[in-house]
Amino acid sequence: MREWELKSQPWKVTLRIYQSTGTDNYEARAVSVQLQWELKMSLLQRKAALLGMVALSLLCAQQGTAQDSVFAALQQRGKMAMGVDQIKSQHQFDILPTGGRIALEMKGDDSLSIAQIRAHLKLIEHAFQAGDFSTPEFVHMRSMPGTEVMTRNKARIVYSYADLPRGGEVRITTTDPESLAAIRAFMTAQRGDHMAHGMGESMK
């Protein structure tokens, strides 16, 4: 009589063979042979892992494409609102101890685009001072963090424009703690959405 027993352990397969020979009273002598070997991965496991890697790659590619599409749309709306090519220009959003700084400059010497940036930022200075944040809301297609408080506390915030060599800047300053927190939230959101650089630590 033979009995076969197959036992599985992680990465191992154990095979035992029992062979019994009996007498009239069925006293048996058992001979056990054990085979044991390492299996790194079965064929089915390899296929499953490969399919998983393919699925993950496709998912990452889809997410990357979606993110690229969202950013491209934001860039296009930015061009419409600011009047300059977003790829040929560069934003910087600084978070400062007394508020923030929005800078926009052309990457090259384009006098027409530089003049357009300056005109745009002068309009932004006056709009923000009046509590009007419709331009960033259009560009980002959402109500920007901090703008509700910045609108309510507009009398406690000062906006000042200045020329830069290839564009301009708007500095935002306040001594009011609530307004300061709102400005920092606004600058953090701008920096993240535009994938831009800036001084000062972003709010978490």
Predicted confidence (pLDDT) per residue in 27-68, tens digit:
444 444 444 444 454 556 656 656 666 566 655 555 556 667
Q: How many CA atoms does the CB half-sphere of 34 hold within 13 Å?
A: 5
Q: Which amino acid type is present at position 76? A: Q
Smallest CA-to-CA distance from 123 within 134, 110, 109, 112 is with 134
- 197 secondary structure, DSSP code: B
Mean pLDDT, rounded, for 101-121: 95
Query: 30 in helix, strand or coil?
Result: strand
Q: Find the Cα–Cα–Cα–Cα dihedral 80, 83, 87, 89, rounded to 10°.
A: -140
Could you report the per-residue pLDDT of 140-151, keeping only the tens digit for each? 899 999 999 999
Q: Which of 88 and 30 is assigned the larger pLDDT?
A: 88
Q: What is the pLDDT of residues 2-28, one digit of tens each?
A: 444 444 444 444 444 444 444 444 444
Q: Which long-range contacts (CB under 8 A, 24 or more apart) does 28-31 make?
A: 28/1
pLDDT at 5: 44
Least Cα distance to 194 among 43, 67, 21, 74 occurs for 74
Name, in order, each residue with C-beta under 8 angstroms of 17's C-beta and a sequence gap of 6 or more.
Answer: 2, 3, 4, 31, 32, 33
- In angstroms, the CA 82 to CA 101 distance is 17
Contact predicate 101/171, CB 8 Å: yes
Classify residue 144 by its DSSP letter.
P
Mean of pLDDT over the chain: 79
